[in-house]
Amino acid sequence: MGVLKGEKDFSEAATILALLPLNCGLAFTIPDCRVPGHEHYCYFTFAGSIVWIGAYSWGMVYGITQIGCFTGIPIFIMGLTFLAAGTSVPDLLSSVVVAKQGKGDMAVSSSIGSNIFDVAVGLPLPWLCFVVYYGCPVPVGGHAEGNGLSVAILLAMVAVVIVSIASSGWKMSQGLGYTMFGLYFVFVAQELFRNYS
Distance CA 115, CA 91 (A): 10
pLDDT exceeds 90 at position 108: no
Instruction: For residue range 15-63, list pLDDT tens digits in order.
Output: 889 899 989 999 999 999 999 999 999 999 999 999 998 899 899 999 9
pLDDT at 1: 43
Range of weakest confidence among 48-52, 97-101, 114-118, 146-150: 146-150
How many Cα atoms within 13 Å fall on the side-chain side of residue 56?
13
pLDDT at 11: 85
Q: Of residues 109 and 60, which shows the higher confidence score?
A: 60
Rg from Cα positions in the chain = 21
Across the range 98-116, mean pLDDT stands at 83
pLDDT exceeds 60 at position 76: yes
- Classify 14 as helix, strand or coil: helix
> How close are the terminal C-alpha atoms of the chain, in Å?
55
pLDDT at 9: 82
Instruction: For residue range 125-167, list pLDDT tens digits in order.
Output: 988 999 999 998 877 765 566 677 877 888 888 888 889 888 9
Write down the mean pLDDT value for the chain: 85
pLDDT at 8: 66
138-171 burial, b if ≥16 CB within 10 A, otherwise e? eeeeeeeeeeeebeebeeeeeeebeeebeeeeee
Across the range 88-111, mean pLDDT stands at 84
Residue 10: CB atoms within 10 A of its CB come to: 9
pTM > 0.75? no
pLDDT at 145: 65
Across the range 171-194, mean pLDDT stands at 88
Each domain of the chain, given as residue ranges in start order, spans 142-197
**Percentage of residues in the chain with pLDDT exceeding 70?**
93
